[in-house]
Chain A
Amino acid sequence: MTPLDWFVMIATVIAIPSFGLWRGRGSKTVNQYLLAGKTMPWYAMGLSIMATQASAITFIATTGQAYVDGMRFVQFYFGLPIAMVILSATAVPIFHRSGVYTAYEYLERRFDGKTRALAAVVFLIQRGMAVGLAIYAPAIVMSVIFGWPDRITTLLIGIVCVMYTTTGGIPAVTWTDVMQMSIIFSGLILGLITVVSLMPHGVSFTDAVYLAGTVGKLNAVDLHFDPNNRYNLWSGLIGGSFLALGYFGCDQSQVQRYLTGKSVAQSRIGLLFNAMAKVPMQFFILFVGAMVFVFYLFIQPPMLFERAAMKQISSQPEYAELQRSFDNAWQRRKAAAEEVNAARKSEDETRVRASVEQYRAADNDLDAARRNGARLYEKTSGASGFNDTNYIFLSFVTRYFPAGIVGLVIAVIFTAAMSSSSGELNSLAAVSVMDLYRRHFRPEASDRHYLMISRIFTALWGAWAVIFAQFAKNLGSLVEAVNWVGSFFYPVLLGVFILAFFFQRVRGSAAFWAMLAGEASILACFFFTNIAFLWYNVIGTVIVVVFGALFSIKSGREKRISAII
């Protein structure tokens, strides 16, 4: 990092949250602190919802995911617009008109106290783990830049996030997100331009795209239906829709965003804006990762992208041989890639086919050499499941991006992490205070008391997030880990809200036991089947709805209860 990078990074990191705090100043009541007094316009909500998802994880892990696994991850987002359309027509007006602070408060009005408490606890477990992952992501940034151990950096970032969140509240978080998204869009465009401009002489943009596509890095749509395949069109459209319905419809960190809207229409437009912008944005980010892969066809990458792991294996006796075989594999792949380019320009079909086969074989050899390096690290460190996907993009940025842009990209990652983590901490505090503390321990205290307790809970959840982040390292790609954790818990929340909105004869006990049955079915899928995790969302939700309806058969003649209460 040059002095210019430091200047850009520090200025951006200070300026964006400061703007948010200034725009969101004056949160003196619980309503203002948790719901911004219901004053937010649609564009602020829409950008804020996008920014919460576009956390540091998005930049660090999604680009790495494309480098390793290609662009097929984009299919995961295909269900999101469908979910947004459904939620904007159902959840948004229902929650708005019910006048609740949290989504789970609504469940008590519709069902009973125990269903509300169970849903709140499920949310706290799920989001509590996810916020740990969100805090861990920027720790990777610090590790790559400074070489500091993850544990120390996680602790430092956790402290900063907690301080920022306790003072800000949801208005500050939302306005920070608005600024952050404009920086993110600029950073992305600059990032792609820089990657493409760094390609060696003679490799055009079209050549780069062809080379990425030849080894399957541009596999954006896979029509083949396979329930054990993590990402294809069908798992994305069906499983992704259910996961997005669960996330945006039942997760307080998202519900809280559209509860801040000036009106129902403003909140609905905010969600639909997100529906249209999210898929192209993810495609763009993955494409940057695929271009990083092409760049490393011509410039040799490190065997392992995590600097600390590389340092550790380099002192082992087997290292020299492994490095030699990695160097050779890379040389062969580079030569094969150059031959593909030359063959394409000659327009000789036979030559093109032969060169492509060689290129694919050389790419497989290089992957194998990299895996040997990972195995050596696992052997020497005693850790299992080594995965450096999250280090690929950062390692690239810090080595090859020009001065100033490095600082901007790092700043984007920092502010994204701070903003999304602070939003999550704020929602965790909201549920802890409104659904548990006020409901079960101090129902009649003053507004000032609840505001103080909200800040205390924010700090406690921050401490928990830091502790959980210590275990995040071995969960592989962070972006997958977050969605994997979500798929364990969102289905039961989604199922119970479907019962609440659409099954007007279902009562509290039926909903409660149906949730437990749904969670049991997801655990059974995990322990006894090989079904890909996105399908847990479908299975769990269907089980909750079917069991809820079955448990309510005896109450078939009871009075219907409207979804708006």
Chain B
Amino acid sequence: MRLPPEIRDCEPPPILGRWRNMNIVVLAWLAFLILLFYAFTQYFS
């Protein structure tokens, strides 16, 4: 399994410089939401 180089060399995002940074922000946001919802569930149950 490997991605072609044309995809890895894709044009950069308008913010954060690299696509990897954009992806990290999105996944960190997901982790934060899950933790928040879990705390919400525990607190009100």
Interface residues of A (CB under 8 A from B): 74, 78, 81-82, 84-85, 88-90, 93-94, 97, 209-210, 212-214, 216, 218-223, 233, 263-265, 268-269, 272, 275-276, 279-280, 283, 501-504, 562-564
A-B contact pairs, 20 of them (CB 8 A): A74-B37, A85-B27, A89-B7, A89-B23, A93-B7, A213-B44, A216-B45, A220-B41, A221-B41, A223-B38, A264-B10, A265-B10, A265-B13, A269-B22, A501-B3, A562-B4, A562-B6, A563-B4, A563-B7, A564-B4
Q: Please name all residues of chain B whose beta carbon is closer than 8 Å to the beta carbon of A212 when the two chains form the complex.
A: 44
B38 to chain A, nearest CB (A): 4
B residues with a Cβ closer than 8 A to A are 1-4, 6-7, 10-14, 19, 22-23, 26-27, 29-30, 33-34, 37-38, 40-41, 43-45
- Check if A82 sits within 8 Å of B34, measured CB to CB: no
- Flag if A78 contacts B4 (CB, 8 Å): no
Contacts of B12 in A (CB 8 A): 265
In whole Å, how far is A23's beta carbon from the nearest beta carbon of chain B? 23
B44 near A210 (CB under 8 angstroms)? yes
- Bound: A503/B4 CA distance, A: 11
**Residues of the A chain whose Cβ atoms lie less than 8 Å from the Cβ of B33:** 279-280, 283
Give the chain B neighbours of A81 by CB distance below 8 A.
26-27, 29-30
Given contacts A90-B3, A502-B1, contact A263 B11 (CB under 8 A): yes
* Residue contact B41 to A272, C-beta cutoff 8 Å: no
Complex Cα distance, B26 from A305, in Å, reads: 39
B30 pairs with A82, CB closer than 8 A: yes
The A interface is mostly helix, strand or loop, or mixed, namely helix
Measured between beta carbons, the chain A residues less than 8 angstroms from B34 are 78, 221, 233
The reply to whether A268 and B41 form a contact with Cβ atoms under 8 Å apart is no
Question: In the assembled complex, which residues on chain A have CB atoms less than 8 Å from the CB atom of B45?
Answer: 213-214, 216, 218-219
> Do the beta carbons of B38 and A94 come within 8 Å of each other?
no
Which of A218, A279, A502 is close to B40, meaning CB atoms less than 8 Å apart?
A: A218
CA distance A264 to B27 in the complex (A): 21
Contacts of A90 in B (CB 8 A): 3, 7
Q: Which residues of B contact A216 (CB under 8 A)?
A: 45
Nearest B residue to A280 via CB reads B33
Would you call B11 and A275 a contact (CB within 8 A)?
no
A74 to B41, CA, bound (A): 12
Measured in the bound complex, the distance between the Cα atoms of B34 and A263 in whole Å is 32
In this complex, what residue of A is CB-closest to B42? A221
* Complex Cα gap A264–B34 (Å): 30
Instruction: Select from chain B the residue with minimum beta-carbon distance to A217.
Output: B44
Let me know if A218 and B44 touch, CB within 8 A: yes
Q: A504 — which chain B residues lie within 8 A by C-beta?
A: 2
A216-B44 Cα distance, complex, nearest whole Å: 9
In the bound complex, what is the Cα–Cα distance between A78 and B29 (angstroms)?
11
